Amino acid sequence: MSTNDRPTPGPPGTPATQVVLLGTGTPVADPARSGPATAVVVGDVAYLVDLGPGVVRRAAAAHARGVTALAPERLTRAFVTHLHSDHTAGYADLILTPWTNGRTETLTVYGPAGLRAMTAHLLAAYAADIAVRRVAEPDAHAGVAVNAVEVGPGLAYRDKLVEVTAFPVEHGSWAQAFGYRFQTADRTVVISGDTRPSETLVEHSRGCDVLVHEVYSTAGFQQQPPGWQAYHSAFHTSAAELAELASRIRPGLLVLHHQLFWGTTEDELLAEVRSRYDGPVLCGADLDVI
């Protein structure tokens, strides 16, 4: 997508778009980095992408810092890139916690095949909890309901604030894994999800304002056992590979996300990318607002 394909800025008063990194972690249990979750916030509406562990409490923390759209009771729209556990372990939290905090609207979640079954199983697992709260709690609204929508490549969602396009990415042996492009009146934001270098991502990201992309340290990768090297090269993107992708995409800002450091520092990971890419780069951290 070229810069000419971006939406034209809206009139004065058009809601501004923010990207809030709620969780930048991986399956590694790093207490400083919650599981992968990102919010695209347009005015007073939040659109979540991925539901890693800690997603609701990170949203509450962002709300406490002034992002009003991320109040837990206002979390009603979400997108899932794929069904790996680190991207979905917070799904039950998103269903239940905002409900007990006063959400009254149905939660709608968009994602790949298998999302409906996962949703049904989670609701079944917590059926006793839901039944007790509905009877015992004075403010047990209808906000525990979930509308799970399985999407394919192409337009996944549209409202007056945003158009969301799902595109397939290559994430090892997963039959379906998506990246998402958010197009608003003032910004184009692309979130890669988990992926190895993907031509579809290049196609949907060219000239975007913000590219949030997963990455692993090239130096750290060299220290991994052969089996893990084979796994990560099939499922994920190295710093060197991401630099080459970014050189073709030329985003306004490249944000490193879901970082596998393997003993390297943030500065060293940034240096790996910057050695092959001359554009603006941020090593994302939880609760960064972009």
Structural domain range at position 69: 3-283
Distance separating alpha carbons of residues 217 and 197, to the nearest angstrom: 14
Predicted structure pTM score: 0.93
In a domain, 150, yes or no: yes
Reply yes or no on whether the pLDDT at 246 is more than 80. Answer: yes
Phi, psi of 271 (to 5 degrees): -65, -35
| pLDDT tens figures, 26-82 | 999 999 999 999 999 999 999 999 999 999 999 999 999 999 999 999 999 999 999
User: Mean pLDDT throughout 5-13?
Assistant: 47
Reply yes or no on whether the pLDDT at 8 is more than 70. Answer: no
In a domain, 290, yes or no: no
Counting the structural domains of the chain, the total is 1
Distance set, CA 205 to CA 7, 143, 161, 188 (Å):
14, 35, 19, 9
Strand pairing class (154-158; 163-168):
antiparallel
Q: Look at residue 4 in the predicted model and tell me its pLDDT.
A: 36
Distance separating alpha carbons of residues 101 and 84, to the nearest angstrom: 27
Q: Look at residue 13 in the predicted model and tell me its pLDDT.
A: 60
Q: Look at residue 2 in the predicted model and tell me its pLDDT.
A: 32
- Contact between 216 and 250 under an 8 Å Cβ cutoff? The reply is no
Reply yes or no on whether the pLDDT at 107 is more than 60. Answer: yes
Per-residue pLDDT band at 120 (split at 50, 70, 90): very high
* Active-site option among 86, 93, 194, 286: 86
Q: Look at residue 197 in the predicted model and tell me its pLDDT.
A: 96
- Residue 84: both structure tokens together: 């790996």
In a domain, 81, yes or no: yes
**Is 278 known to be catalytic?**
no
Q: Look at residue 144 in the predicted model and tell me its pLDDT.
A: 93
Give me the chain's average pLDDT, please.
93
In a domain, 70, yes or no: yes
In a domain, 288, yes or no: no
Per-residue pLDDT band at 141 (split at 50, 70, 90): confident
Per-residue pLDDT band at 7 (split at 50, 70, 90): very low
Closest CA to 254 of 283, 286, 276, 275: 283
Residue with tokens 């608003």: 184
In a domain, 289, yes or no: no
Reply yes or no on whether the pLDDT at 6 is more than 70. Answer: no
User: Mean pLDDT throughout 198-219?
Assistant: 96
Distance separating alpha carbons of residues 179 and 80, to the nearest angstrom: 9
In a domain, 104, yes or no: yes
- Amino acid making up residue 54: G
Burial per residue of 187-208, b for 16 or more beta-carbon CB atoms within 10 angstroms, e otherwise: bbbbbbbbbbbbeebeebbbeb
| pLDDT tens figures, 142-171 | 789 999 999 999 999 999 999 999 999 999
- Contact between 109 and 56 under an 8 Å Cβ cutoff? The reply is no
Q: Chain centroid to CA 134: how far?
A: 31
User: Mean pLDDT throughout 101-129?
Assistant: 97
Reply yes or no on whether the pLDDT at 14 is more than 70. Answer: no
Q: Look at residue 3 in the predicted model and tell me its pLDDT.
A: 33
CATH number at residue 195: 3.60.15.10
Reply yes or no on whether the pLDDT at 19 is more than 50. Answer: yes
